[in-house]
Each structure stands twice: as C-alpha cells, then as structure tokens.
C-alpha cells in the first residue's frame, strides 16, 4: 500500500507527453510558472485554462489520477479564495450580511489567484504523472550540468537521488517486516492515544536506522568494487533524446505567452 503512495504517481501510457524528453518537460514547467503570472483578465485566464486542459488531454492520463493529485492542495486553494474574498477591500460592494462584506475586486482577485494556483498544480501533476522519477533525475542532471563549472556536485546529487529512489521499496519492505516483528513482540502500532503511538514508532525506527547504515556501507563497498570513483571519466548509459515534439511544445508555450501578452490589460 505504501508503495502505491509514492510510485502510484506515475501513470504509464503512450502519449506525446509521456514520450517527451524530461528536460523539455522540466523547462516547460519552469517557463509555465512564469507565464502564468502574465495573465490578469478573463481572456488571458481562459487562454491558460484551454492550454492546460489541452495538455491534460494530450497526456492521456485518466482524470481521476489528476483529481487525486489535487486533493491534498484543494483546501489550500479554497483557503486562498476565502482569504482574498474577505480581505480585499476594493471596488463595488456586491454582497453584505452583518459584518461580512464582499467587494467586487476581492471576488475577482480570489478567483484569479486560486485559479492560478490550480493551474500550476495541474501542470506539475502532469509532469509527475507522465515522467518516471528516474527520468526526472536524468533531466535535472543534464539541465544542471553547467553548474559543475562552479563546483556544484551535480553528478553526486543525481546519484544520490537515483539510489534513494532505488532503495525506497527495499526500505518499505523492511519497515513492514520490522513492524510485523515488533507486533509479534507485543508492540501496538494502531491503537491508543497519540503519545503511545509515537512511542511505538521508536522500536520501529531504531532497527530501520541501524540496518540502513549497514546497507549504505555494503553498497559503498560494492560500488567501489565495481570501479566507482566519482563522476569524472564516467560515461552514461541512460540517454535523453530531444525530438521535434519537444521543440514544438516549447514553441507552443511561446505562442501562448505571446497571446497572453497581447490579451492582457
């Protein structure tokens, strides 16, 4: 079950978005975050919504996965909306009941800002739903490549990420095993007051830490035995390939920003 929580994010499918180079997806998201801020009226937001929904359609990811991704942030979006609704005091009054007054500008701002939020989350969900974690790691490694010149440990960071990804299921399995072992010894993980439950986690975490350190040491030995000596002189097996679609997608985003600049007031 825990496995699903983390890896359930990626939805395998054959779509244009899935086949895109992770680098172009990352660039696209980064630029989209900036482009969203150009929008400031109904037309520009409409354009953004159309673009985002077009992307969702292209990704062929079932809507329920996208909704599942939105759930945890839904409250935040509502909260933003309410905050703007009550705190902005500009424009004409459109609603008044006792101490509550809602201004036109407040409604407008509230809707726009939560919409902005909403669209950003949708786009980032598309990224994580259509790209495997390891692809994202590869993409980041190449995109951050130039930072090596200023001694930023790009390769080490990427290796750390990929090893963590590889060990998540292993450690999940181990947690499960320790949990069962401790349950057999009488530890109750499910019931009781919060204080008791927090206490119950200790006999779970300590063995997990100990074994993780042991694993780390063995892994380091194995890596050294296989000739690992840092990023220098290393070749790469995984290959990223930039296709025409990647360029097209970026051009599409450029077109969108031109439209937004023309339509904004």
Partner 1 sequence: MNELVRLQDISFQYDEEADYALKGVSFSIYEGEWLAIVGHNGSGKSTLAKLLNGLQYAQEGTISVDGMLLSEDTVWEVRKKIGMVFQNPDNQFVGTTVQDDVAFGLENHGVAREEMVDRVRHSLEKVKMDQFLDQEPHHLSGGQKQRVAIAGVIALRPNLIILDEATSMLDPRGREEVLDTVRELKQDHQMTVISITHDLEEAAKADRIIVMNKGKLYREGSPAEIFQMDEELVQLGLDIPFPVKMSKLFKEKGIPLTKYHLTEEELVNELWTSHSKM
Which residues sit at the interface with partner 1, rule CB under 8 A? 134, 162-163, 165-166, 169-170, 173, 215, 218-219, 221-229, 233-239
**Whole-number Å distance between alpha carbons of 201 and 184:** 15
Q: State which residue, 197 or 236, has the beta carbon closest to partner 1.
A: 236
For residue 232, the 8-state DSSP code is T
CA separation for the pair 193, 151 (Å, rounded): 49
Q: Minimum distance from CB of 165 to partner 1 (Å)?
A: 6
Nearer of residues 99 and 227 to partner 1, judged by Cβ: 227
Between 91 and 169, CB nearer to partner 1: 169
Which helix or strand (DSSP H or E) is residue 197 part of? helix 194-225
Distance CA 91, CA 88 (A): 9
Q: Which is nearer to partner 1, 91 or 145 (CB)?
A: 145
Report the alpha-carbon distance of residue 122 to residue 141 in Å, rounded.
24
Q: Please say which residue, 188 or 217, places its beta carbon nearer to partner 1.
A: 217
Task: Give the shortest CB-220-to-partner 1 separation in angstroms.
Answer: 9
Residue 219 or 254: the one with the smaller Cβ distance to partner 1 is 219
Which pairing describes strands 100-103 and 93-97: parallel, antiparallel, or unpaired? antiparallel
Nearest distance from C-beta of residue 235 to partner 1, angstroms:
5
As measured in angstroms, the least distance from the Cβ of 227 to partner 1 is: 4
The secondary structure of 108-125 as a DSSP string is HHHHHHHHHHHHHHHHHH
Least separation in angstroms between residue 185's CB and partner 1 is 24
Give CA–CA dist 151/153, Å, rounded: 6
CB atoms within 10 A of CB 128: 16
Smallest distance, partner 1 to C-beta of residue 2, A: 12
């Amino acid at each position: 079950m825990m496995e699903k929580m983390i890896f359930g994010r990626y939805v395998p499918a054959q779509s244009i978005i899935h086949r895109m180079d992770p680098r172009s997806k990352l660039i696209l998201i980064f630029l989209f975050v900036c482009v969203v801020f150009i929008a400031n009226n109904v037309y520009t937001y409409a354009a953004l919504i159309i673009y985002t929904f077009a992307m969702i359609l292209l990704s062929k990811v079932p809507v329920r996965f996208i909704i599942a991704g939105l759930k945890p942030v839904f409250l935040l979006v509502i909260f933003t909306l309410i905050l703007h609704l009550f705190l902005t005091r500009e424009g004409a009054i459109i609603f008044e009941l006792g101490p509550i007054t809602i201004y036109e500008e407040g409604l407008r701002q509230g809707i726009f800002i939560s919409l902005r939020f909403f669209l950003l989350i949708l786009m980032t969900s598309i990224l994580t739903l259509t790209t495997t974690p390891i692809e994202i790691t590869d993409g980041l490694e190449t995109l951050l490549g130039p930072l090596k010149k200023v001694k930023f440990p790009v390769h080490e960071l990427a290796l750390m990420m990929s090893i963590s990804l590889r060990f998540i299921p292993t450690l999940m399995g181990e947690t499960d095993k320790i949990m069962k072992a401790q349950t057999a010894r009488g530890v109750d993980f499910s019931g009781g007051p919060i204080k008791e439950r927090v206490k119950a986690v200790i006999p779970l975490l300590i063995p997990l830490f100990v074994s993780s350190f042991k694993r780390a040491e063995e892994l380091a030995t194995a890596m050294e035995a296989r000739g690992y000596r840092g990023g220098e002189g290393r070749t790469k097996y995984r290959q990223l390939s930039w296709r025409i679609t990647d360029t097209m997608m970026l051009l599409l985003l450029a077109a969108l920003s031109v439209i937004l600049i023309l339509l904004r007031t």
